[in-house]
Structure 1
Amino acid sequence: MEAAIRGHPLWADATHQEIDHAEQGLEKYIMTKLFDRTFAASPEDAAADAEVSDKIALLQRFVRPHHLDIPKVLNNEASWLANPPQLHSNLKFVQLFRRETKLVSEVEYYLTNLISAKMFIINVNGQSLSMEESEFQKHMESAKLGTQMSVAGPSSPQGLATSTRGLQKQIDAEGSRFPFMDSETENLTPAELKQLHGLYRKTVTRYALLSKALRKLSIDEDQLLASVDDS
């Protein structure tokens, strides 16, 4: 492209900087016209964007700088909480359509770091964050639960209490969900005791995850339960 511009009579006496500006202007004009066909143009790109964004949203709920061995002096709250939209598509667009002569030196360094950060986010696991894999998975499940609660309804204790009251009515109407609620201990068979123990373990696990999610949402658990009891 540079040779074509320099070979034109109108640009015969142009400086290198003027040629460079002309090339960038032409590049921007062409890519603006082709933007809808080149940026996030496939379902795969949209899926990749959603995957990265959702993963960042979950990690933001529990990952802290010390998990990545980041010194306190480098902790930047603004960048730490960032979740840039369509990160995958933006990086792909730059890689495919930006002039290679412009992807050098400092620009290349920043782009490489962003690409590496995206890949780290996609493949992150417990070892990446200096924690046990089981602990990492618990954090992820808790984060998913917290996200679902945020999307499903109000995040205030009053709003959650209203939702809980509705759930309680549903539970009361579906006694089969708690088959041993009105049973006497001495009347339970060994098989029923085994089933009850399994339900207990599941309940405790869910309670632990829910409590952790409430703490992440800065909701006082005792206050929430009290508001339900008073209703």
Structure 2
Amino acid sequence: MKNKEAELREKHEELTSLYEELTASEEELRQQFEELIKQQNLLKISEERFRLSAEGSNDMIWDIDLENGQQYFSDRWYELLGHEIDESENMFDKWLSLIHPDERDYVKKAFEKHLEGNSDFLKCECRMQCKDGSYKWFLIRGKALFDENGKALRIAGSFTDISDRKKYENQLKENAYHDYLTGLPNRLALYENFEKYMNTCHVKTMALFFIDIDNFKFINDTMDHFVGDLLTGLTQII
């Protein structure tokens, strides 16, 4: 009888211990589940914040996983350039092919420099071809993620349309180096271009013509702009 009681007591203790373990496991699972829900909510908030930021900034967002080749280019990319979405395409190669030939090597070298760890950020400007054949200016910015050995694993960034800014800068340059009335190069343009020419010219003798037209506005006002245009046309021929 005593042996039976001892055996039952031992079984009871085992069941009690097992129950406590199951209760502890259940509590641990509950905490893990709550943490998972919390992380999912944080991820949802983060994704929503990212989406709103991307839409609000009016930039094109891109993300390239250098390990598995996965690429992401936001819809804004297609809106600004006019190209249609084709998920079968390698978007990075597609993007490189759209860069103006004059800037393509420069952009490639900027990417290589950053992915090799020789620059803190990727930042460059280039023209990209739209579907209608025209070009827009873009500021490209990006940042790569590296492993402990310095190998680039991922790179992400944005494209910003700076066409209006470039147009304004070109207009400022035009105004600075050309006469506002005739559109001809002014004295500042002469000084800078002459210095560049002297630094690259290898001839021993040369001549410089300086033609000054006084009262050009008076000519336009009294003899019509047609005569003034003829005079400015002669300067282009000379």
Q: TM-score, normalised by structure 1?
A: 0.21
Q: Name the structure, 1 or 2, with higher relative contact order (CA <8 Å, separation 6+).
A: 1
1 or 2, which has the higher helix percentage?
A: 1
Which structure would you say has the larger Rg? 2
Greater fraction of residues in strand: 2
